[in-house]
Amino acid sequence: MKYSSSVDLAVPPESVHPYVSDLARYPQWMALVHSAESCGDHVWNVELRAKVGVFARSKRLRMRRTMDDGTVVVFERDENDGRNHAPWVMRVTLVPTAAGCSVQIDLSYGGNLWTAGVLDRVLASHVDAGKSGLAQLVHGA
């Protein structure tokens, strides 16, 4: 699955960057990220959690920040258990605009946990809700 979403914010990219470059801050603004614990060296243990009616699905991932140039931040799944895992990649791009910046979130993943159509939509809705949470957080900062 691949999903992209963007939000325009009335703050400069450097005001948004701290919230999107550190996965430990994502639970503050994106409910999908239930927890993110830093392991050092740009690595986090992340638990994603989403509800579908009375059911909840969760997924634990070890994610590494593989790029951060101040305007593009990329996180990729980086498990260290010796097994072959489905890829997860999230790319956040901060584009300066006349009014502040545009935040583009591109998420792609493989595997079968989230691929049941309904779960794809739930995941997309969580990412979209996170845009609102990010806007509230950076505008209140």
Residue type, 101: C
Instruction: Tell me if 126 sits within 8 A of 31, measured CB to CB.
Output: yes
Please give the Cα distance from 88 to 122 (Å, whole number). Answer: 17
Three-state SS for 29?
coil
The residue that leads in pLDDT, 119 or 8, is: 8
How far does the chain reach from its first CA to its final CA, in angstroms? 33
Percent pLDDT > 70 in the chain is 92
In angstroms, the CA 100 to CA 6 distance is 13
- pLDDT digits 0-9 by tens, 100-138: 999 999 988 886 655 555 566 777 777 777 888 899 999
Return the higher-pLDDT residue of 4 and 21.
21
SS3 139: helix
Residue 141, pLDDT > 70, answer: no
Strand partners, 107: 3, 90
Indicate the Cα dihedral angle 63, 69, 72, 76, nearest 10°: -20
CATH topology of domain 2-140: Alpha-D-Glucose-1,6-Bisphosphate; Chain A, domain 4 (3.30.530)
